[in-house]
């Protein structure tokens, strides 16, 4: 599969048709689904109809758009009109949205075509894509390993060549971690740069739509299309005029200073990840970037903070899935509303979702609010302050994306705490509301991909993607190659 900008150019100039592109994408999606369980729904009929309609408009002289004929995969917690959207949960097994999320609508208006809805950890709660009601997904580099989560299916779609672009959501690293595990780029924008209208909520102060691709230019193209104020989302940044493509300049690294976070770049990381981090640091220095150490004293408290704030917000957001108005109702013979709600939630929500609801409800309960949730909010502020101080000295901050490469399926499913600790690097950006990106950093243990993460100050997203482009230019085709088994 070519890059998005190449496909769009070929369709716009008539060198190929949207139908031919989408037929090839769908054929690969079927193969990948059989091997990796990357998707919950493959939208064959809708995608082919959209391709034919685009070809017809193009033949009549109408501009087919900057993403003409580009196949995209959408995480299945982002609403798509007429295409089933389950959030990876039995509770929404039959939900077909009557409208599309703003980000999807804007992609489609630009000529992109939705080919599939990606598998995910239920409601975005997980780091391995093993918590889906529709089965675990598998890493395209090694089928015995996890692809990461919760946007695992979206990462697989890009890394295996089904689509050059995929949307995920990132609440505590759910775009960046699977990107690192599958060797692609995973970008979480500043909170509010992309509309959350039509995204099924997990933790509303942390959730952000993210973009996954193998090319910085593809990310820039998608962001120029999707970003901008949305009146349907009160958290959307007003008067936002994205200029990502215009900022992909050759001198992006000139005079740049990057701070390597001392608390996150030593003990606790695997040897392979540390080696990849050191290699990226050395590359940056060869390119003239000043790299120095920076301290984020409260970074080690990020996991504890995140796993109080996020479950608390999840407890509130998922209260509606009670079998009364939302979700599937079970236990009709139960005595009374309370028992119906209890049985319905127990039958349709998976164990990880139930665990986080219980954690969040406890943290918000009378007598514990100040001790847990209230204190977590204070530490969240301290973490944001640490980052502000770091950005006073450096243009960007650098960490590993994850402490290790992808682990075996089932390896951590019985130990949720061990899985939570893998988010130590990624939760910081969500807690502070800033932008962050994971870029491929070669291979770690088991010849599996790993990533390096860069964080930027709020609304400095264009400069962050320009940094990715500069790194990409030094490595060419080796920057984010397709997974080995899917290169033909």
Give the per-residue SS3 of 122-142: HHHCCCCCCCCCCCCCCECCE
pLDDT at 332: 63
Sequence ranges of the domains in the chain? 4-252+428-486
Query: Is residue 188 within a helix (H) or strand (E), and if so which, with residue range?
Result: strand 185-188
pLDDT at 273: 98
75 is annotated as an active-site residue = yes
CATH superfamily entry for domain 4-252+428-486: Amidase signature (AS) domain (3.90.1300.10)
**460: nearest Cα among 438, 426, 428, 437:** 437
pLDDT at 122: 98
Q: Which CB contacts under 8 angstroms, 24+ apart, belong to 238-244?
A: 240/192, 240/193, 242/193, 242/462, 243/462, 244/219, 244/220, 244/461, 244/462, 244/465
254 is annotated as an active-site residue = no
> How far is the C-alpha of 403 from the C-alpha of 274, rounded, in Å?
9
Q: What is the pLDDT along the chain (488 residues), one digit of tens a residue?
A: 699 999 999 999 999 999 999 999 999 999 999 999 999 999 999 999 999 999 999 999 999 999 999 999 999 999 999 999 999 999 999 999 999 999 999 999 999 999 999 999 999 999 999 999 999 999 999 999 999 999 999 999 999 999 999 999 999 999 999 999 999 999 999 999 999 999 999 999 999 999 999 999 999 999 999 999 999 999 999 999 999 999 998 788 999 999 999 999 999 999 999 999 999 999 999 999 999 999 999 999 999 999 999 999 999 999 999 888 788 777 666 667 777 778 878 888 999 999 999 999 999 998 899 999 999 999 999 999 999 999 999 999 999 999 999 999 999 988 999 999 999 999 999 999 999 999 999 999 989 999 999 999 999 999 999 999 999 999 888 899 999 999 98
217 is annotated as an active-site residue = no
Task: Answer yes or no: pTM beyond 0.95.
Answer: yes
State the CB neighbour count (10 A cutoff) for residue 261.
23
> How far is the C-alpha of 11 from the C-alpha of 18, rounded, in Å?
6
Select which of 150, 154, 160, 265 is catalytic.
Answer: 150
**281: nearest Cα among 292, 268, 270:** 292
Select which of 151, 174, 344, 438 is catalytic.
Answer: 174
Select which of 58, 75, 344, 412 is catalytic.
Answer: 75
């Amino acid at each position: 599969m070519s890059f998005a900008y190449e496909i769009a150019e070929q369709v716009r100039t008539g060198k190929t048709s949207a139908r031919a592109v989408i037929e090839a994408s769908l054929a690969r999606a079927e193969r990948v689904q059989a091997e990796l369980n990357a998707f919950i729904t493959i939208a064959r009929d809708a995608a082919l109809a959209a391709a034919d309609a685009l070809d017809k408009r193009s033949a009549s002289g109408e501009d087919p758009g900057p993403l003409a004929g580009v196949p995209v995969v959408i995480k299945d917690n982002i609403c798509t009109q007429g295409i089933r959207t389950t959030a990876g949960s039995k509770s929404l097994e039959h939900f077909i949205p009557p409208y599309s999320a703003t980000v999807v609508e804007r992609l489609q208006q630009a000529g992109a075509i939705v080919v599939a809805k990606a598998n995910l950890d239920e409601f975005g709660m997980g780091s391995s894509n093993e918590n889906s009601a529709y089965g675990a997904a598998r890493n395209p580099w090694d089928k015995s390993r996890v692809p990461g989560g919760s946007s695992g299916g979206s990462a697989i779609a890009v890394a295996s060549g089904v689509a050059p672009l995929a949307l995920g959501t990132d609440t505590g690293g759910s775009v960046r971690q699977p990107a690192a595990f599958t060797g692609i780029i995973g970008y979480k924008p500043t909170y509010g740069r992309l509309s959350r209208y039509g995204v099924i909520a997990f933790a509303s102060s942390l959730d952000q739509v993210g973009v996954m691709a193998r090319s910085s230019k593809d990310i820039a193209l998608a962001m120029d299309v999707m970003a901008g104020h949305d009146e349907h989302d009160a958290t959307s940044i007003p008067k936002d005029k994205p200029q990502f493509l215009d900022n992909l300049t050759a001198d992006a690294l000139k005079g740049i200073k990057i701070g390597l976070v001392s608390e996150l770049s030593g003990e606790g990381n695997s040897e392979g990840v540390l080696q990849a981090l050191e290699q990226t640091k050395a590359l940056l220095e060869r390119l003239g970037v000043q790299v120095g150490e920076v301290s984020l004293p409260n970074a080690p408290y990020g996991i504890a903070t995140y796993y109080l704030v996020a479950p608390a917000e999840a407890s509130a957001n998922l209260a509606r899935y009670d079998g009364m108005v939302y979700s599937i109702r079970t236990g009709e013979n139960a005595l009374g509303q309370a028992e119906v709600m209890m049985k319905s939630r127990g039958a349709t929500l998976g164990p990880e979702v139930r665990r986080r609801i219980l954690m969040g409800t406890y943290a918000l309960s009378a007598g514990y609010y100040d001790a847990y949730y209230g204190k977590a909010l204070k530490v969240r502020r301290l973490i944001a302050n640490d980052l502000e101080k770091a950005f006073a000295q450096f243009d960007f901050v650098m960490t590993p994306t994850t402490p290790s490469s992808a682990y075996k399926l089932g390896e951590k499913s019985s130990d949720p705490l061990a899985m939570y600790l893998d988010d130590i690097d990624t939760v910081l950006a969500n807690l502070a509301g800033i932008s962050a990106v994971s870029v491929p950093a070669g291979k770690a243990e088991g010849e599996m991909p790993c990533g390096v993460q860069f964080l930027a100050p709020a609304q400095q997203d264009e400069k962050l993607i320009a940094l990715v482009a500069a790194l990409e230019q030094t490595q060419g085709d080796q920057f984010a190659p397709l997974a080995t088994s899917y290169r033909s």
